[in-house]
Structure 1
Amino acid sequence: MGLVAAMTSTITGTITGTITGTVAGVARRTLVARTGGVDLTRLDRVPRSLSWPLRREGAAPSARLSAMREAGPVQRLVTVLGLEVWLVTGDAELREVLADGASYSTDIRPYVGRSGGSDGDIGGLGFTDPPDHTRLRRLLTPEFTVRRLQRVQPMIEEICRGRLDEVAAAATAGDGVVDLVPTYAFPVPFLVICELLGMPHDQRETFARLATQRFDVGGGGAGTLGAIGGSRRFLLDEVARQRRDPGPGLIGQILREHGDEVTDVELGGLADGVMTGGLETSASMLALGTARLLEDRALWQRLAEDAAVAGPVVDELLRLLSVVQVAFPRFARRDVVVGGVRVPRGAVVMCSLPAANHDPRAGYAADLDLARATRSHLAFGHGVHRCIGAELARMELVTALPALARRFPDLDLDVAPGDLRHRQRSIVFGLERLPVRPRGARHVV
């Protein structure tokens, strides 16, 4: 959510920074020194004391997380082998932390050994501080302006049309039940990212497999780092290939315009951020958003018939669902006071985006409230690490959800909403499956 590192980061700005990402990949060399040789990457699972904030009740933040926010929006979560982990859950307090680049660092490169990247350097925006962050972000920013994004709108529409044809075909070929996760929610943002990056067709299957392995923390530190390392190596190889023969997409364009200014590791990290922020996040939003809308038939019908409602609906879904569970971890450079609470130097500060986006002190409702829809929510993060591809992510959703409603106005869930299986302990919240019955298809988009 993000990336949410948020295509985009958390949609680039929104994501491998997480409660678990921190514990699994943080400070390998530093933690080994601090803790007498303990290597957290060898943990076979993430401790409950760290993973419980990722749990949800349905699609909503857990009652425990909400109670923690009400009791005190800045609290020490746990100490792991001498490393203090703090959790921030309030809207105002998150904005305070995420906007303060002087008091916090997101750069974990000094702590990560070879398992985390190339000689301890992982590249990318989310784990980089200014001035490197400023220089690297400047390479991507031109591609995510509203003017540039207008060029990709027809491509997104074409992808949606093609995938809706596949959904209709799958319903006809089988028993009428289609899982929207692999047929629509995942392929739409995946194909957009492939086109955006200029990914060769013969590499896309490998790219898809690697992309889906990195967000589930059930395998502990080794599993998380292994999945991240695998996707990063794939992208580093692709950058090296395109440095010799630049392709038509984002990677090739940056190499043509700034080839001498960016290393393979840096550009691989930027491409990794686009994948990280823009694929699983948008796929989860499409699936979860569809499920939520199908619980309100009047709103589903309105979405199919009124183009003007799509923006507010998407903005409220982004806030309500907040699929990016936590922002990039912040490392306190010094003692700092947040919301009246002193956080000590060296602490890891985790910011819960779902908790903040449900904070009643900020005027947020517990359910969809189109009359109060806003684009100033925290689903894409905040500050210099706010998702650089937020506009692209929103464009995808504003296109894909109404297209689905127009094509299948009588779409129904094939299970009760309470029986939908959500991914547990995942950095990016989502659904395992979304079985639907696409009845009453109309051949329009």
Structure 2
Amino acid sequence: MTSSGDENATVPADESPTAMRRLLPADLVERDGCPFDPPPGLRQRRGQGAVQPLTLHNGASTWMVTGLDEARAVLSDPRFSSDRVRHPDATHQQAAGQPAPPPGGRTDGMFIFMDPPEHTRLRRLLTGQFTVRRMRALESHIRDIAVEHIEAMRAAGTEADLVPAYALPIPSLVICEMLGVDYADRARFQRNTAIALDSTSGDDERARAGLELYGFIQELVAAKRAEPADDMLSGLIHDADPPLTDAQLVDMALVLLGAGHETTANMLGLGTFALLEHPDQLGALRADPALLDNAIEELLRYLSIIQMGVTRVATEDVKVGDVEIAAGATVIIATPEANRDPRHWNDPDRLDVLRPRTSHLAFGHGVHQCLGQQLARVEMRVGLGELLTRMPGLRLAVPAEQVPLRNEMLVFGVHSLPVTWA
């Protein structure tokens, strides 16, 4: 699920994060030099305040939050809204006069763009599906998937692209099974999701991808209504009281499918890349596998694959840190920089798998904290653990500077990771 951060970072069907990505200065979102460091614009702004003014390309004045404490304060304060219908952010200034939702409340299922109590009801329906106990029960199955794909790579030769051969299939298979999606349909879903999350996609291309995604899930909902099975989507259809509409079910399924493979796949790919490029850290992890859980939290903090785009809108005047945020202002959380706040971590730009575990913003914070964070942790623990154990000679097959980065995507990572083990 979202090894990512805030829920709204991985939604393929909504324009808000992608629109924000397009309006941000390039130096705040495009990484250069070291592929594991925050974008240069964030690094240059370090020390200029935990809450800084930021002007978007459309001329809108916003606030960028780079401090960990201040980001948590925004994400946990009910005076900052996630509701893009009632409180359009700076990317949707022209939508400010749109009609309000009907008195009975919103009828869509995009719970990631809702505030309580609407958000609370829909999220509660999903919470029971992602308990620590249930995620740990999945661990042996996830290990079977990982081992199967490692053996397939070995059988095919001594080189592979780790992204399609390993990093993407693990979370894709798991979330497809949980929701009851035929895994044979994964290519169709993943292709359209990639287009939707690519800030360079044309508007027409994105619209077509969105329609195909929506139609895909509509067909799935209809099939589960007719023939329920032992999966999450069937449970949402047949167990919710009051019942959910088809529109709500489609929206919720889109959120879960998008979040369930995109972010964890990129953490597996980029995390492996980071370890291969830090042989001292890889060596420490190989020497003491008990460090794996610690290493995963450090990789989540250090890599922060959710780039700029997590936003909130102030519904009244609010003071954050020592800055007054006016009602109606958009606040943007700079997750990669907040996760390297020098007030919380010594030498924050260094990857250190021995670093004591601390909380971070990789899964967000507050009521919208990632539902699937425990699933993501299990997938990463198993995925990285099996890879490092079963392929002791693993290394890059190309120079590091030739590994293509996902600078144009909402979720950072690598497009491919050529590796060898010969």
TM-score class normalised by the smaller sequence: 0.7 to 0.9
User: Does residue 136 of structure 1 match 2:143?
Assistant: no
Name the residue aligned to 1:37.
none
1:16 Cα deviation (Å)? 3.6
Contact 1:127 1:328 in 2 (8 A): no
Distance 1:265 1:217, change over 3 A: same
CA-to-partner distance for each residue in 1:291-329, whole Å, 9 max, x for gaps? 111123354355346431110111100100011114632
1:80 Cα deviation (Å)? 5.3
1:246 Cα deviation (Å)? 1.6
Alignment of 1:29-48 (within 5 A): 46-47=22-23
Distance 1:261 1:223 in 2: 34
User: Does residue 378 of structure 1 match 2:361?
Assistant: yes
Alignment of 1:113-124 (within 5 A): 123-124=109-110
Name the residue aligned to 2:70.
93
1:339 Cα deviation (Å)? 1.9
Alignment of 1:265-280 (within 5 A): 265-280=247-262
Distance 2:15 2:330 in 1: 12
Contact 1:2 1:324 in 2 (8 A): no
1:92 Cα deviation (Å)? 1.3
SS at match of 2:163: helix
Name the residue aligned to 2:229.
247
1:417 Cα deviation (Å)? 2.1
Paired letter, 2:392: P
Name the residue aligned to 2:313.
331
SS at match of 2:251: helix
Paired letter, 2:365: H
1:268 Cα deviation (Å)? 2.1
Distance 1:85 1:228, change over 3 A: farther
Task: Tell me whether 335-344 or 285-294 shows the greater mean CA deviation.
Answer: 335-344
- State the TM-score, normalizing by the size of structure 2: 0.87
Distance 1:88 1:421 in 2: 29
SS at match of 1:107: coil
Task: Tell me whether 408-417 or 360-369 shows the greater mean CA deviation.
Answer: 360-369
Q: Provide the aligned length of Structure 1 versus Structure 2.
A: 404
Task: Tell me whether 404-413 or 303-312 shows the greater mean CA deviation.
Answer: 303-312
SS at match of 1:70: coil
- State the TM-score, normalizing by the size of structure 1: 0.83
Paired letter, 2:408: R
Distance 2:2 2:319 in 1: 25
SS at match of 1:370: coil
* Structure 1, unaligned runs of 5 or more: 27-44, 114-118, 440-445
Distance 1:256 1:123, change over 3 A: closer
Distance 2:272 2:122 in 1: 35
1:263 Cα deviation (Å)? 1.9
Distance 2:385 2:170 in 1: 14
Paired letter, 1:403: E
Distance 1:51 1:121, change over 3 A: farther
CA-to-partner distance for each residue in 1:177-198, whole Å, 9 max, x for gaps? 2110110011111111111111
Distance 1:78 1:222 in 2: 27
Contact 1:15 1:126 in 2 (8 A): no
Distance 1:353 1:397, change over 3 A: same
Residue identity over aligned pairs, in percent, reads: 36
Equivalent in 31, 39, 48 of residue 71 of structure 1: 48
Name the residue aligned to 2:392.
409
SS at match of 1:285: helix
1:343 Cα deviation (Å)? 2.1
Contact 2:17 2:410 in 1 (8 A): no
Q: What is the CA RMSD across the aligned residues, in angstroms? A: 2.8
Name the residue aligned to 1:389.
372
